[in-house]
Structure 1
C-alpha cells in the first residue's frame, strides 16, 4: 500500500512553532512521514529537532539538505543526532539543489553535482555506521573521522532528490531511496526505470529502497482558487528557479510549453507564464480542487506502480488555512 507523507511548507510560516503544529497535525491525521526542505529560510536540522521532540510516531525527514552547504561529516553528525532525538524516526534526504541557490546564496561553486552527491552519500553512510572514515574521493578526502558518541541504531536511511536520468540512476545505485518532484505520471515511469537500473548496478535490494513522489496539492471549497495556486506554483518553479525544472519538464515531452513558460517569466511577464500553463498538463503534475476532486486526483498518483509514498506538498502562496484544509482533505483514511 502506498504510504502518504506530508511536505511541510517553508513559505507562509510565522514561526517554528507553526511547523511543529503542522507536523503534530500530520501525526494526528495518520501521515507516515513529515518532510521539511531547506531553502533560504529556517534551518531544517534545528527545526526537525523541535518537531522530533514534540511528536511521537510520525517519521521525520529532510527533503532536501543541499550537499554543498554542509560537509559530509557534518551531515552525518546531524543525521545521527536527529535519529537519536527522534528515537529512530529520522530519514536523511540529500540533493544538490541548483546553481542559483548554491552559487548566488551560499557562494560555493556548483560543480559536478552527480559526483559530489555520490561522495556525500557514501561518507554519510560511513559516519552513521560508527566506523572510522577514511575516504579518498574527487571532492573529499577524510582520514580518521569517527563519531565520538554511540552510532545510531538503526542508521537512518539516506535518500536522494533527483530529476535527471543519471541523477536518478545514481540514487538507485547508492542511496536508500529517491525523491521525485515535478513529474508527470508518464515521466515518473521513465525515471523509475532509471532508478531500477541503478539499483541493479549497485546490487541493491529494491525492497529496502523507498521511492517518494512530492506532489503539489491544494484542496479548497473554492476549486478555482485551488487551481490558480497550484498553477502559479508550477509556473514559478519552471520559469523562475533556474533551468533545472524547465529542462525536467522538457525532458518529459513538454519542451515547447516549458520554454514558453520560462521565457515569459524571465521576460518579467509572470501573468503570461501562468496563463500559458495548460490545464491538461496541470492534471499530470498536481492534485487540486474541492476536497473530493483533489482526493480523486491524488489517488491517480498513489496508484502508480513503483511509487512507495506520495507526499502532499503545497503551493508556495498557500496560507495556513489552505495548508490545513489540504492536509485534512488528503489525509490517509
Structure 2
C-alpha cells in the first residue's frame, strides 16, 4: 500500500504573537501545498477559536485539533464543536482526540485521569452519534446519555475521528474503532512496531486497513544555519522528555532509548537544562525528527516517508523557532518543493 505520504502542518505548540500569526502560518501552508493544519491545544489559546479563524482565513487546507483531550469537554459538547467546525470550514474538519496524561488532566483541569482508553472509545462512539444528527441514546461504562440531538443540520459527511496514542493498547484501539491514528515522538523502528498493533486493532474490528489513516507528527527545522536548526530541535525534545509528564519518556523507553530518556528527564528536572541538551545524541535527534540545513533535513525526512503504513506526515516545529524560521521550514519541506 506504500505511496508517498501527504504532508500536513502541525502548527507551533509554542505561543505565537497573535491568533492572526497562526492563521498566517496556516495560510503559508496552504500556499505551499500542505493538506491540513493541525493545531495542538495545550495551555495557550484554545483550539476551537483559533481553528475557526483559520477556517475563515483559508480556502482549501483542512483543519483539525491535535489533540482535543477527552476530559475537559463533555463528549456531547465535543460533538457539537466538531459539527460547528465542519460547517464553518465547509467540510474541511478532521477531529483528533486523545486522553493526554495525568499531569495535564488532573493538574490543569482538576479531573481524575480515570480509564483513559475506555473513555476515548466512548468519546468516539458519542461524537459519531451526535454528528450523525440522530437523537443520542448511549449506555456505556462511563457515560449513560439520552435525548440529545443537534438543533442544526448535521454535517453532510461524517467527520473523521483520529485517536492519538503511543502505547500498544491505545494504538490497537485506534485501529479498531477510530478513522485514524495520530502518532507523535516515534522513531522509524518504533512506528513500524506500533503499526503492528494498529493492524491487530483493524483485524479485531473486522475493518479495512485502508479506512484507517495514519498521521505521524514530526518535529522539523530546516535552516541555512544548520547548527541553529539542530539546537532548536534539541531544546524541543529535551523539554518534552523532561517537562511533559512521563508518557514521552515511557514511549522512548519502549523504542530502545530508556537510559537516555531517564537521564534527560533527571537532568531537566534538576534544572540542568544544558546537560539535558548534551545528553541528546545526534542519533537520537535524527531518529525522532529532521533538523539541519535544507539538504540534510530533506534527506532525514525521507526515512519517515518510507515507512510502510504512514499516510500523512505532519510537519511540526521546535518550540523556540521564530516565525521566520517556521516559514523557512514550511517552504523548504513543501510538498511542491
TM-score (norm 1): 0.98
Q: CA deviation at 1:263?
A: 1.3
- 1:276-324 per-position Cα deviation (integer Å, ceiling 9, x unaligned): 1111111110101111211111122111110000010001111111111
Counterpart CA distance in 2 for 1:266 and 1:253 is 22
Aligned equivalents of 1:171, 1:12: Cα separation in 2: 29
Aligned twin of 2:142: 139
**CA deviations over 1:134-177 (Å, ceiling 9, x no partner):** 11122211011111111101011010111000001001111000
Among 45, 49, 66, the residue aligned to 1:46:
49
What is the rounded CA distance, in whole Å, between the counterparts of 1:123 and 1:160 in structure 2? 14
- Asked if residue 226 in structure 1 is aligned to residue 229 in structure 2, the reply is yes
Which residue of 262, 282, 286 maps to 1:283? 286
Instruction: Tell me the distance in 2 between the aligned counterparts of 1:300 and 1:255.
Output: 22
C-alpha distance in structure 2 between counterparts of 1:138 and 1:236, whole Å: 36
The equivalent residue for 1:24 is 27
1:153 has 2:156 as partner = yes
Tell me the equivalent position of 2:315. Answer: 312
8 A contact 1:216–1:312 mirrored in 2: yes
Does structure 2 conserve the Cα–Cα contact (< 8 Å) formed by 1:7 and 1:214? yes
- Partner of 1:61 in structure 2? 64
* Distance apart, 1:12 and its partner CA: 4.0
CA RMSD of aligned residues (A): 0.9
TM value normalised by structure 2: 0.97
Deviation of 1:133 after TM superposition, in Å, equals 1.2
Contact 2:15/2:44 (CA < 8 Å) preserved in 1?
no
Unaligned runs of 5+ in 1: none
**Counterpart of 1:284 in 2: which secondary structure?**
helix
For the residue of structure 1 that corresponds to 2:291, the secondary structure is strand
Q: What is the aligned counterpart of 2:272 among 238, 257, 269?
A: 269
Are the aligned partners of 1:217 and 1:312 in contact in 2 as well (CA < 8 Å)? yes
